[in-house]
Amino acid sequence: MIIYINDKPCEAEVGDLLLHAAQRHNSHIGCICGGNGICQSCFVYIKEGAESLSQPSEEEKAFISEKLFQDGGRLACQTVITGAGTIKVLSRAENLRRIVIGLNVPGFITYAQTIGYNVLNKLPGGAANVVSRVMEGKLNPADSIGKIGNSIGYGARLAVHTATENLPILQIPLSVISGAAKGVFDTASGLVCTVSGGQLHLPGSTCSSHETQQTKPVESITITVK
């Protein structure tokens, strides 16, 4: 089946976590804690298809306010696809980006108020939930650190992939980029040569007006290291 994350089509199957479906297709959803359910970086808005998803977990209830639940808020690392259907998801970062680009001032004010309320009212309960899971052995600190490390690696790969997709220059072979850079450097050296009357050149560069001439050093210096 195909689901849509930030309007990007992603293949998914019943039983998949929303977070994993997004990661397989480089569709950005935050994952600072690596899927441990101890932060809200993977917070998303379910725009369509809530009936095809699992019910909110205890971890989600600990971190998400009722107001955000009403707006379709979920944690992608806890939300499982339970049935076929049209599912459309918007990450928190993408939602905010659209508000800002659209110059939606009322929307931004509402967004800030809702998030601020959620942080103030749910942070204590979220922290208590994390401590409780650690005490009960449901959350292993060593395993959590490993997952966080994996999420950092994934974030780095996603950043490179996104930059490559959006900056065409990064798709040019490195040798071509290096050659172009050297050409610019040599041109700059020629300009320095002209301004200085042939006395100065940039190190490591060539100058078209002098590259065929044999130049002698102005002065030789011997350096002895004791």
Domain boundaries, the chain: 2-169, 174-208
Beta strand 88-91 with 73-75 is: unpaired
pLDDT: which is higher, 198 or 113? 113
pLDDT in the model for residue 192: 61
**pLDDT 10s digits, 212-225:** 444 454 455 555 55
User: What number of CA atoms fall less than 13 Å from residue 66's CA on the CB side?
Assistant: 0
Lowest-confidence region among 46-50, 60-64, 116-120, 155-159: 155-159
Domain 2-169, CATH: 3.10.20.30
- Residue 188: is its pLDDT beyond 80? no
CA distance 57 to 35: 13
Beta strand 43-48 with 8-11 is: unpaired
Lowest-confidence region among 9-13, 32-36, 62-66: 32-36
**pLDDT 10s digits, 61-108:** 999 999 899 999 999 999 999 999 999 999 998 999 999 999 888 888
CA distance 6 to 56: 21
**pLDDT 10s digits, 146-187:** 777 777 776 777 777 666 666 654 454 545 544 555 565 566
Split at pLDDT 50, 70, 90, the class of 27 is confident
pTM: 0.65
